[in-house]
Chains A and B, each alone.
Chain A
């Protein structure tokens, strides 16, 4: 079932002094591959994910790619939240493990409630989105995971390109790309919403 924990969500909003922002999206998967992956992940070790956008002092944000992705495909980094794990702790832990950065949370953007559908089956997944500011660590060099193969600093044009690539990936990557389009686009929309972040 993977029910949404409203109490916890409002607590996080309160903690960071933001109005609750909940967006809902349905993604229809065309093949069983990624659908089954997500379904298995939810059933076993994760209830959702943190999407962590690191806003660098130069105004650019970090986009990442992995070895197995099609060439030139980047996205805003994400990491799983365990079934009994704290959302905020997960965001900071993932920034350290995946990127090698110590960070503080500058802004909690809100949650994207995603309903993945495949044929007559569906599963709920929750993406909690954060803007982080790094306070230390060396990008990638201090990462304990080696999943990320390359990072790129992108500006508004760069992130627009990242989005257009994700939107329409060929073949088996298409389902995955549409999922990553939604999370990356939510970050893009926030960054361009003229909400000042110091």
Chain B
């Protein structure tokens, strides 16, 4: 199970499209918000791929829940944009939430800064921004693989 995780594309889908084409074997694409319509565009362009999304703080939609759990291959992935957990300040709240619901991994964006840490065995992953990274960084995304009941992730930067 190979998952591509994107966030904060902010209206620019070129980088996402390149990454998806390069990773044609991906089983799932997750977009963590801002702008949710970019995820819808990607879904239109790649109708055979499964795309899951959560809206961000700059998305005008009431249609999608702000956070959700996805169960895949016996693992629980908690996805949310991050603003409702104030992740620009610290990760305490989102980490606590992840542990509360017994998630195996929490994915969020919002900060435009990629990060990959572990908290008591739970993966805490921010893929950064695929279009408008914070100062000095390259655009980034994550590849997550669930294999032999392990979650393996890495942050990839686009040159």
Spell out A's residues near B (CB within 8 Å). 57-60, 155-157, 191-192, 194, 196, 198
B37 — which chain A residues lie within 8 A by C-beta? 196
Interface: B17 (CB within 8 A): no
Q: Complex formed: what's the CA distance from A66 to B83 in Å?
A: 29
| Count of chain B residues with a beta carbon within 8 Å of a chain A beta carbon | 14
Q: Complex formed: what's the CA distance from A166 to B35 in Å?
A: 28
Q: Is the CB of B61 within 8 A of A58?
A: no
Q: Is the CB of B40 within 8 A of A59?
A: no
B11 — which chain A residues lie within 8 A by C-beta? 57, 59, 198
Interface: B91 (CB within 8 A): no
Interface: B23 (CB within 8 A): no
> With A57-B11, A59-B34, A194-B63 given, is the CB distance from A157 to B57 under 8 Å?
yes
Q: Complex formed: what's the CA distance from A59 to B110 in Å?
A: 13
Q: Is the CB of A59 within 8 A of B35?
A: yes
Interface: B134 (CB within 8 A): no
A194 — which chain B residues lie within 8 A by C-beta? 61, 63
B59 — which chain A residues lie within 8 A by C-beta? 59, 155-156
Interface: B75 (CB within 8 A): no
Interface: B62 (CB within 8 A): yes
Q: Is the CB of A59 within 8 A of B62?
A: no
B35 — which chain A residues lie within 8 A by C-beta? 59
> With A57-B11, A59-B35, A198-B11 given, is the CB distance from A156 to B40 under 8 Å?
no
